[in-house]
Amino acid sequence: MANLFTRMIESIESDLHNLMDKKDEKNPIQALNLYLRQSEKEAEKVRKLVERQHKLKEEFTRERLLADEMAEKRKRQVEIAKQAGETELANYAEKEYQEYIQRAERLTYSQVEAMRQLESLEKKYEEMNHKLKDMRLKRMELMGRENVARARHQMSLLTDESIEKPISRFEEMERYIEELEYKVNSDYYHHTLDSKIAMLEKDAREEKPSDNSEKMI
């Protein structure tokens, strides 16, 4: 299982290097996201294998303890059967005792081996998680660089000429508004002037008869 785990990690690393070496990739961020999702699925499979190995180690431990208990039990039964003069029963108990002793020894070896393999798997699984975290961080860095590159590209599209066109339009609009304001103000003052002159002429006409009548008196 440890060799399988190692080959899986090496395969993931190889795929990652191959992905990074593709210079003609149209959308590297999207490809990296896809690869990360695939790698996370593989990591989930490995996590389940680690959990399975942990359960196996616990099962070996339980079976060894049970074998130890049964061996100790049969050992006591051998002594009891011998004391009672039950030779055949004592021989049967002795045979059972030896089988449990052998089973306990084999389970002890399996337990130790399972623990060793579990420690190796957990270590490699942790390394895989670190690699995935590094890949996620690298993706964030690449996304940041991509955003900056896109922003600079958009800003580069706003050349001096393209910026001056809107500015010139604003200046034209401003001159138009100023001319319109001047015309409105001129018409207002002209209308006001005509009204005031007309009122003065009216007042002057109304004052003339009164002047003549004073002279006659």
At position 7, the amino acid (one-letter code) is R
Higher pLDDT, 36 or 70: 70
Confidence check: pLDDT of 49 > 80: yes
Indicate the range of 100-114, 127-141, 186-200 predicted with least confidence.
186-200
**Distance (Å, rounded) from C-alpha 97 to C-alpha 106?**
14
Question: Which fold does the domain 2-157 belong to in CATH?
Answer: Helix Hairpins (1.10.287)
Higher pLDDT, 40 or 26: 40
- DSSP single-letter state for residue 24: T
At position 26, the amino acid (one-letter code) is K
Per-residue pLDDT tens over the stretch 58-106: 999 999 999 999 999 999 999 999 898 888 999 999 999 999 999 999 9
**Distance (Å, rounded) from C-alpha 91 to C-alpha 103?**
18
DSSP string, 128-169: HHHHHHHHHHHHHHHHHHHHHHHHHHHHHHS-HHHHHHHHHH
**Distance (Å, rounded) from C-alpha 47 to C-alpha 121?**
9
Percent of the chain past pLDDT 70, that is, above it, reads 72
Q: Are 129 and 43 in contact (CB under 8 A)?
A: yes
Per-residue pLDDT tens over the stretch 124-155: 888 888 888 888 888 888 888 888 887 887 77
Contacts of 54 (CB under 8 A, 6+ apart): 118
Which conformational region is residue 148 in: left (phi greater than 0), alpha (psi within -120 to 50 degrees), or beta?
alpha
